Amino acid sequence: MEKGQKVGVLDVHAKYGESYQKSGYDLLRAVTHWKPTEVDKERSNDPNDKVTATYVLDEGFYQLLTLFDFASPINVEAHLQMWREAVGVQMHFNDIGWRIRALALTVLTFTLGAIGYAYINFGPAHIGAWEVSPALFLPFVGAGLWCAFWFADRGWFHKLLVGSVKEGADQEEILSARGVPTNLGGYITNASPIKFKHWKYWWGKRKGKAVEWHSSLKLNFFYGIGLLLLGATAVAIAIYGPRPTPMNMPPEVPVVNNNITIVPPVPSVLPTPPKTPSP
C-alpha cells in the first residue's frame, strides 16, 4: 500500500478482513516473502510505522460501490433521444386508444338507434310459445361488438401504452441521476388517478381506505357503463314485450255526428277548363 501511494495509485484498506489475532498469522509471517524489516514494521504498534490508507472498508467489500463509480460513462444525448422516442410512443398508443373509444361510442349509438327502430317498425317474432320483439336480439349483438372494442383497447393497446410509460420512467431515472432533471412520467402518473377520500359516518368516524382509480380501472368503468346500458335495454324490452301492431290492435270506433258535413278541401288554384276546338 505504501508503494502504491508513492506512485499515485488509489489504495483501499480492507479493515474488515484483519486477522492479526488469528493463530495462523504467525505462520504467515514465517513463510512470507517480505523482508524481516518489513515484517517488524508491520508487527510494530508505533503509529509512525503504520501507513494510513486513503480509503478504509470496515464493514465489507460492498463498500467499494459507495466509494467508486464502476459504471462506464453514458451518452446523455443518446438517453435523452430515447426518452423523446418513448414519449412519442406513449402519445401514439394514447391516440389509438381514444380512436377506439370514439368508434365504440359511435357503434353504441347506432345500436341503440337500431333497437328503437326495430322495436317500433317490426312485428313480434315467435320462438316456441314465446312472442318477443326482434329488437330484443340487437342488444346482444351490440354487447359483443362493445366487448370487442374493450379487448382491443384495454387488453391490447393499453398494455403497450403502459410498457412505453415504464420505458420513459427508466430513461427519466437515468437522466436525473446524470444531472438532467426529467420527471414528466412521474408527474403524469401521480396526477392521473382519481382519488376518493375516506367516507365518514354521520358522527365523524372514518371507515375504509382511500381508493385510487388508475387508467386500467377507469377503462373498465367506461366500458362497464356501455354494457350496463345495453343490458338495461334488453331487460326493458323483455319485460314490456313486443309493441302491438295495427293488426292486433282493437279497432277504432268511428264517431258519427250527423250535424257535421264533411266538405272536401277546395284547391287554392282552380283547374283551367279544357279548350274546345273551334269549328
Q: What is the pLDDT of residues 30-83, one digit of tens each?
A: 767 777 777 666 666 555 556 677 778 777 777 777 777 666 677 888 989 999
Who has greater pLDDT, 165 or 37? 165
Rounded CA-CA distance 160/78 in Å is 23
Rounded CA-CA distance 122/103 in Å is 28
Per domain, the residue ranges of the chain are 2-67, 76-240
- The cell for 179 is 444531472
Question: Across residues 243-265, what is the average pLDDT?
Answer: 54
**Class of residue 226 by CB neighbours under 10 A (exposed 0-12, middle 13-18, buried 19+):** buried
Return the percent helix, strand and coil in the chain, to nearest 5: 55, 5, 35
Other Cβ atoms within 10 Å of 12 Cβ, number = 17
In this prediction the pTM is 0.58
pLDDT at 45: 56
